[in-house]
Amino acid sequence: MRRDVVAGLSATPKILPPKWFYDARGSDLFEQITELAEYYPTRVEERILARIAPEIAGATGAATVFEPGSGSSRKTRLLLDALTARGTLRCYAPLDVSPSALEQAGAALIRDYPALTVAATVADFEADLTVPHDAPSPRLITFLGSTIGNLDPTERREFYDMLRADLGPADAFLLGADLVKDRDVLVRAYDDSQGVTAEFNKNVLHVINRELGADFDPDSFAHVALWNEEEERMEMHLRSRYAQTVKVRALDLSVDFAADELMRTEISCKFRRDGLTAELSDCGLDVRNWWTDEAEQFAVLLAVPSR
């Protein structure tokens, strides 16, 4: 966090990574977002997974499910159920930056799956993507919720390279990806009428205040959601309502904001089938299955290491 905040607040334009939305409050706000009428990705992906989970279990026979950016693990239960029914699942290894999310999800999973080993790790998946060394094979690495869209092309390449280096010949990668669609649908999904996404966006300021002794006033920033047509991605920003200076005591850092200055807090890239399949192939991952909903809003794909 120290590294990201120093780099991001010193950059032009200013940037804060979306992973720092997620403390206990941020995780709760995101769960609220997934229930909003405007926010389609979670519902659509969950419906796809409910339909295809038995097929995934049959194709992978996974003994371990490893999930970076696991959050609440709600949708992952569909896979755990299918693999348990098939009789192969032995271990679930979630990884997340939020200890509270892992503790909550882990306690519920241990209760509901008494025969399952749950090996949780607090870590940043962009820095540490190593599957626990004692996790039984074959392993299914899941990356759901279109979290892949939070990474720019260079970051995605680094992520795929880390992932590919850790995949054995019998392992597989399950990816959820949001697809390019109508601009208005996208903007509404990131700027809901109840203002929950705005509170989620501002939560990064609460986190930095608490963890690094900053004096951000969240009310002095406005939530902004924009569709970047050229990059085919949604962007979330915080706009400074007026000229102000923010101090981050733990970093001995003073940061000036101009009136109406935008600070980017998230990108959410949207994908097309040909482009996503090609970038995975370039990193040694062959897409074997591509599933989507009837409206082709969202895709779930299964990839394996190139032979």
Half-sphere exposure of 85 (CA within 13 A, CB side): 12
Q: What angle do CA 266, 269, 272 make, to 5 degrees?
A: 175
Buried b (16+ CB within 10 A) or exposed e, 123-138: ebbbeebebbeebeeb
**Inter-helix orientation angle 196-212/24-34, to 10°:** 170
Summarised one tens digit per residue, pLDDT across range 135-165 is 899 999 999 999 999 999 999 999 999 999 8
Summarised one tens digit per residue, pLDDT across range 170-200 is 999 999 999 999 999 999 999 999 999 999 9
pLDDT at 101: 80
Buried b (16+ CB within 10 A) or exposed e, 64-87: bbbbbbbbbbbbbbbbbbbbbebe
Per-residue pLDDT band for 43 (boundaries 50, 70, 90) equals very high
How many CB atoms are located within 10 Å of the residue 110 CB? 13
Distance separating alpha carbons of residues 108 and 5, to the nearest angstrom: 33
Q: What angle do CA 185, 191, 25 make, to 5 degrees?
A: 130
pLDDT at 70: 80
pLDDT at 125: 86
Question: DSSP assignment, residue 135?
Answer: P
Place of tokens 């025969």: 115
The residues, any chain, with a CB within 8 Å of residue 307's CB and separated by 6 or more, are 169
Question: Nearest to residue 32, comparing CAs of 199, 248, 218, 275?
Answer: 199
Residue 246, phi then psi, degrees to nearest 5: -115, 135
Contact 284, 164 (CB under 8 A): yes
Per-residue pLDDT band for 293 (boundaries 50, 70, 90) equals very high
How many CB atoms are located within 10 Å of the residue 46 CB? 19
Percentage of residues in the chain having pLDDT higher than 70:
100
Summarised one tens digit per residue, pLDDT across range 87-109 is 999 999 998 888 888 888 888 89
pLDDT at 156: 96
Q: Which pairing describes strands 172-178 and 139-143: parallel, antiparallel, or unpaired?
A: parallel
Place of tokens 């998946």: 125
Residue 15, phi then psi, degrees to nearest 5: -140, 140
**Inter-helix orientation angle 76-86/41-60, to 10°:** 20
E strands along the chain, which residues?
A: 64-68, 91-96, 117-118, 121-122, 139-143, 172-178, 221-228, 233-240, 244-248, 253-257, 262-269, 285-292, 298-305
